[in-house]
Amino acid sequence: MRKTIGVRLTAPLLAATLGPAALLLAPVASAAADPAVAAVPGMAAAPYEYLGWGSPQKPTDVMKATGVKWFTLAFILSDGGCNPKWDGSRPLTGGSDEAAIKSIRAAGGDVVVSVGGWSGNKLGEKCSSASALAGAYQKVIDAYKLKAFDVDIENTEFGNATVRQRVVDALKIVKTKNPGIVTYITLGTTPTGPDATGKDLIKRGAAAGLANDGWVVMPFDFGGHTGTMGQASVGALEGLKAAVKSAYGYSDDAAYRHIGVSSMNGKTDEAGETVTTADFRTILGYAQQHYLARFSFWSVNRDRACGSGTDADACSGVAQSPYEFTRIVVQYQG
C-alpha cells in the first residue's frame, strides 16, 4: 500500500530486490441507499493479502481462524505494456492466484482485487489512454467476475497529473460498463488529510462525475505526528471527509459513507512509528460511528509476531497473537 516495503511494506531497497511486486458529480445519495454497497456483507472489511511474497498464509486458514470473509488481493501491475498481470508477471488465470480466489469463494468468501501499490510498473502509466486503461482494468474484472475493485495509487502514478486524470476517467468507464461494481481509490495521506496532490485527485473525480464508492487513505508513514496513531488516523480521516464533502457537495453523512481507511499493523516503514491493536480499536470505533465505506489494512501477511530471522513483510514487529489485527477489522460490517 503505502511507501512500503514492496508495496507498503518494506524498504525501497528491499522492494527493488524483490522485483516488481514490492493503493462524483455523481449521485449524492449516501452509501446506505446504494444497494451495491449495502447488499454485500463483509465487503467493507477486506484486509490486504499479498500472495506473491511475505510468506502468505492460506486464505481459507485465515477465514477459519478469524471469521473474515473478504480479502483484498494485491497487486495487479503492468507486464511492461498495457496488460495486467499479478506482480506484472503471473497470469490472471490458470495459476495459483486464481486457485486462491476459487478457494476463498468455495469457503463462502470473496475478493477485492487491487491494482497498483508503491513498486513496479503501473497500468496507469503504461496504458496510453483512459479507454486503454479501462480495458486493462476490465480484463481483471472479467477474469474473476469481480464485485469490487481497488486502485491503490501511489508513487509515480500518484504524482503525475495526467495519470491521475487517466485513472479517474478509466474508472468512470468501468463504472458504466459494470453496473453495481464497487470501486475504491486508495491513496496516501498526512495526519490532517490528503495533501495537495490527493485533494487534486478527489477534485478530478468529482469534476469527471466519477461515482466512486470509497476514497480511502493510508494513515501511516507520516514522518511525524502528534498523539497516538489511532488519533492521527482519525485526524487524517476527518481531513479526507472534508475534502470529499467539498469536492462532491455531499452532506457530512454522505461524505463519511464515501471515505475509508487502510491502516498498517504494527511497525510501519517509518522508524519509531507503530500502529497498535489499541489504535485499530480507535479506528474501528470511528468507522462504526460514521459508517465508513471501508476499513482495511496492510496486511494479513504481517498479522503475526516475528520469529527469528523473519522479515517485516511477514510479521508485524510487535508482540501479538496470530491474526489479532484481523480480528478487530472483521468486526466492522459497514
Mind telling me the catalytic residues?
A: 154
Task: Output DSSP code: residue 33.
Answer: G
DSSP states of 133-144 as a string?
A: HHHHHHHHHHHH
Alpha-carbon distances, residue 284 vs 157, 267, 268 (angstroms): 30, 19, 19
What is the CA angle 229-233-234, rounded to 5?
Answer: 120
What's the distance, Cα to Cα, between the start and end of the chain in Å?
A: 21
- Cβ-based burial of 83 (10 A; exposed 0-12, middle 13-18, buried ≥19): middle
Pairing of strands 84-86, 70-78: antiparallel
Cβ 279 vs Cβ 228: under 8 Å: yes
Grid coordinates of 15? 522492494
Which residues, in sequence order, are CB contacts of 80 under 8 Å at separation 6+? 88, 121, 126
- Cβ-based burial of 87 (10 A; exposed 0-12, middle 13-18, buried ≥19): buried
